[in-house]
Each structure stands twice: as structure tokens, then as C-alpha cells.
């Protein structure tokens, strides 16, 4: 039987299950304990598992991640929470110079099994540094794996799979989707879950492929529903894993539909959409009926809350890109 819960609650359940299943799992971050996190993702966990396993840290992201590196080397599985996306940059050096390099530096002798959770993206009316989309920085870094859930069911299983992995994983959570509900099978064995680093066809179609992840999957699904009213069957692929990208699923779809539109909140310049467009063009050139198009945030600092709806990719911008693709 499935429970209908929010994405945020699904993450809470997934973290709880990981804490129950492995005594080496520890959660650490700013206000994750008594407060339960600013979004209440860790609500109740410190009360049930104690202050030694759900740790309130100082406001020091470099210290949080650096401490987690040491814990991971000593056999623990730390789960760091970066309170907001824009707060990750003080820890950037630790992530790219230590977390990402340790396995290679030690010639495979030292693993760093840790998860860095980052609520990301806009749409919540927040102030500066609270609505960033920094996923390209980390997806570009060899040695890191990067994933993003888009719905409660994936949130529940993906966070557990990330914690159980022996690789360091940056786990991006679409914060404006925290309150959206979906069916989650809380009692299903994790071994039966969809693989962590596989993309998923969220909606089948034959006329064009929409590629999205995290908060933009819902926008892509809405666009596909509207396009269907006009007789266009759009296939929606939820990437789920940003590094490594599951290219075989993407290539199969684009070779069949002949058209592709990539959607993400982050600025377009050198974003993930650029790499996806390049790879699709290289691998599917003779199947394409039109250039690969991108619908992204603009190449500006994230705007003030009163202007963010003009910045974020929306239904109209996606459908306009689809129309342009069919215009070729």
C-alpha cells in the first residue's frame, strides 16, 4: 500500500530508514537537530536517534563538509545538509579539492561515502543566496556524483540509495516541490527501487523529447499535457542523475522523436543543457529534425523575489520552444 505524502516528508522517511538500518549514518548541518531543519526535513530525527547522530553544527559550511570527510574516511556515512543552495560556496574548496579527489588521490584505497544535501532552485519568494541552481559546478567536477529528485517516491528511495553508496554524492532537492504530494511505498525493499543513476521516462511520446530534472520535471509534464490537446505527443524524461548522465535513455528517445528541448532553472550559458545539447547533436545528428533547443534561466544573478516568476522557465516558454522546434 502506498502512502500519499509530501516530497519533504518522503526525504524525512528516507533519512529515518537509513539511520535505522546503519548505525554509521550520521546527519549534520545547521539547525538539523532541535529545529529539524529550516524546511523540517530532519524533523524528529534528533529526538529519536540522539545528538551524536543528528548533529547541530556551527554556521560553517567548510567545517561541516571538512568534518564529514574525516568521518567518511573513518568508516562513517555522513549526510551533510547545506541549509540553502547559495550557502554551499564556502564549502566549495572542500568538495572539489577533498571530497572529489580522495579516492583518486589514494589510488582507490580510501573511499569517501558521504552525501551533501542541497535544497536548490527558486520559486519560494526568498532573498539573495536562497534560490540558486549551482548543479553545473559539481556535475563538471570528476569524482563527484550528482543527482536530483523530482517527486516524493524518488525522494524516498534516492536519498537512501545515495547514503548507501560508497561514492560521494551531491543530492539536490527541489525546494519549491517540498510540499507537493505523491504516492510513496514506504515498506518496499530498497533493493527493488529504480536504480539511482538511471533516467526515467516520465511520460511517453513520439513527436518530441523534453529533458528536465528536479523542479522542472513538473513544468515539462504540464507542457506535455497541454501539447497533447493540440495533437502533439511529447515524451518527458526525468534525468534524475546529472553526473553521470544516463545518455542511452536520452539517445533512444531523441532518435525516435527527432526533436529535443532541454529545460532547467540554472542560467543557460555553460549549463547542463549545453552539454546535453552537444552530446545529442554528436550522437543523434542524423535523426534530428531540428536543433536541440534549451529553455533555461537567464544569464543574470537570480532576481529579487518580486521578479522571479519572470526569470523561471514556465509552461509558455517550454511550449514556445516546442513550437520553434516544429518550425524547422
Determine the Cα–Cα distance for residues 278 and 301; give it in Å rounded to an integer. 25
The count of other CB atoms within 10 Å of the CB of residue 164 is 16
Closest CA to 149 of 125, 189, 115, 102: 115
Q: Which helix (H) or strand (E) holds 218?
A: helix 216-229
**Cα–Cα distance for residue pair 44/265, rounded to 1 Å:** 32
Pick from 184, 220, 18: nearest CA to 117: 18
Q: Examine the residue annotation and report whether 13 is marked as an active-site residue of this protein.
A: no
Among residues 164, 249, 240, 144, which one has the least CA distance to residue 204?
249
- In DSSP notation, 84-141 reads SGGGSGGGHHHIIIIITTHHHHTTTS-----EEEEEE-S-S---TTSS---HHHHHTS
Check: CB of residue 221 under 8 Å from CB of residue 202: yes
CA–CA distance, 155 with 184 (Å, rounded to integer): 9
Return d(Cα 110, Cα 75) in angstroms, integer: 10
The grid coordinates listed for 273 are: 543543457
Quote the CA–CA distance of 237 and 326 in Å, as a whole number: 19
What span, in angstroms and rounded, lies between the C-alpha atoms of 113 and 298? 35
Q: Which of 13, 129, 130, 197 is catalytic?
A: 130
DSSP summary character for residue 16: H
CB burial class (10 A; 0-12, 13-18, 19+) of residue 307? exposed
Q: Which residues are catalytic?
A: 130
Amino acid at each position: 500500500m502506498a502512502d500519499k505524502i509530501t516530497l519533504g516528508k518522503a526525504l524525512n522517511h528516507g533519512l529515518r530508514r537509513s539511520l535505522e538500518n546503519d548505525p554509521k549514518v550520521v546527519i549534520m548541518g545547521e539547525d538539523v537537530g532541535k529545529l529539524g531543519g529550516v524546511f523540517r526535513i530532519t524533523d524528529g530525527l534528533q529526538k529519536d536517534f540522539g545528538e551524536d547522530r543528528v548533529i547541530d553544527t556551527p554556521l560553517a559550511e567548510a567545517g561541516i563538509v571538512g568534518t564529514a570527510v574525516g568521518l567518511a574516511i573513518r568508516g562513517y556515512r555522513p549526510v551533510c545538509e547545506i541549509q540553502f543552495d547559495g550557502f554551499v560556496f564556502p564549502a566549495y574548496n572542500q568538495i572539489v579539492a577533498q571530497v572529489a579527489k580522495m579516492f583518486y588521490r589514494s589510488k582507490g584505497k580510501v573511499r569517501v561515502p558521504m552525501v551533501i544535501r542541497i535544497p536548490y532552485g527558486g520559486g519560494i519568494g526568498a532573498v539573495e543566496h536562497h534560490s540558486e541552481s549551482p548543479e553545473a559546478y559539481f556535475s563538471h567536477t570528476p569524482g563527484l556524483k550528482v543527482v536530483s529528485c523530482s517527486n516524493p517516491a524518488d525522494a524516498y528511495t534516492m536519498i537512501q540509495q545515495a547514503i548507501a553508496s560508497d561514492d560521494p554524492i551531491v543530492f539536490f532537492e527541489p525546494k519549491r516541490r517540498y510540499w507537493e504530494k505523491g504516492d510513496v511505498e514506504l515498506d518496499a525493499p530498497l533493493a527493488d527501487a529504480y536504480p539511482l543513476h538511471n533516467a526515467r521516462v516520465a511520460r511517453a511520446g513520439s513527436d518530441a523529447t523534453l529533458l528536465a530534472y528536479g523542479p522542472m520535471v513538473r513544468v515539462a509534464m504540464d507542457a506535455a499535457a497541454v501539447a497533447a490537446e493540440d495533437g502533439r505527443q511529447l515524451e518527458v524524461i526525468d534525468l534524475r542523475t546529472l553526473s553521470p548522465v544516463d545518455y542511452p535513455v536520452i539517445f533512444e528517445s531523441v532518435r525516435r522523436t527527432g526533436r529535443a528541448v532541454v529545460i532547467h532553472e540554472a542560467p543557460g550559458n555553460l549549463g547542463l543543457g549545453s552539454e546535453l545539447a552537444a552530446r545529442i547533436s554528436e550522437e543523434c545528428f542524423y535523426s534530428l529534425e531540428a536543433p536541440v533547443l534549451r529553455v533555461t534561466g537567464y544569464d543574470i544573478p537570480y532576481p529579487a523575489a518580486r521578479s522571479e516568476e519572470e526569470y523561471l522557465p514556465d509552461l509558455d516558454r517550454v511550449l514556445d520552444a516546442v513550437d520553434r522546434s516544429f518550425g524547422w
